[in-house]
Chains A and B, each alone.
Chain A
């Protein structure tokens, strides 16, 4: 069965610190997408990144970077030089491209608080 685990429920850092949010997933399918979403206090779900299971290259976008490792079934998210505006709940998610026709499986989320 498909499953996404975000073991860190809450993380607090001080501004300018680097922080890594962990995500471990389980799936039997060989083709899938992995996602990260941000949910700020306003409540909407903001798309951050999608990674295809065939593409293990790490990605960097400004202060954000993602480390995808199929060997450990992990898709970790790092924020460099964190800012107060990064405070939000971050969700990791998995979509199987085969068996479950696009159904999205979410982790429980990590609440990140960045203190000034």
Chain B
């Protein structure tokens, strides 16, 4: 298995632009998670899905952030419009429903200038 695949690895964009981060979970995993890591706040859970359904999006910072999971093999995290304070590393992870096999992607380092 190729593991959790995230793209792009690095993204530099200008303030106000739309940014879309992508994630392909491990086949057979039922849960998908989006995390954000910053020096100030550490690893924060933004949103997670079980069986493609969003379960808890209370960690999404504001309406500029949205996430979708149209099918079991693909998810996106979109920021529109982006702001410099959104600069962070964004991780996607997937697992079985009970947490077994929890695996992280390599992350997307986002820089908003």
Tell me the bound Cα distance from A106 to B42 in angstroms: 9
Interface size (A, Cβ < 8 Å)? Answer: 21
Pick from A33, A47, A91, A96: contact of B100, CB below 8 A. Answer: A33
On whether the beta carbons of B42 and A43 are closer than 8 Å, the reply is no
Tell me the bound Cα distance from A115 to B11 in angstroms: 33
On whether the beta carbons of A43 and B98 are closer than 8 Å, the reply is no
On whether the beta carbons of B107 and A103 are closer than 8 Å, the reply is no
Interface size (B, Cβ < 8 Å)? Answer: 24
On whether the beta carbons of B107 and A101 are closer than 8 Å, the reply is no
B13 contacts partner chain A, Cβ-Cβ < 8 Å: no
Question: How far does the Cβ of A85 sit from chain B's closest Cβ, in whole Å?
Answer: 19
Residues on A facing B (Cβ under 8 Å): 32-33, 35, 37, 43-45, 47, 50, 91, 95-98, 101-104, 106, 108-109
Show 21 residue pairs from A and B whose CB-CB distance is below 8 angstroms, ordered by the A residue.
A43-B89, A43-B106, A43-B109, A44-B104, A44-B107, A45-B107, A47-B103, A95-B99, A97-B98, A97-B99, A101-B50, A102-B31, A102-B50, A102-B95, A102-B98, A104-B45, A104-B102, A106-B42, A106-B43, A108-B42, A109-B43
Residues on B facing A (Cβ under 8 Å): 31, 33, 42-43, 45, 48, 50, 55-56, 89, 91, 93, 95-100, 102-104, 106-107, 109
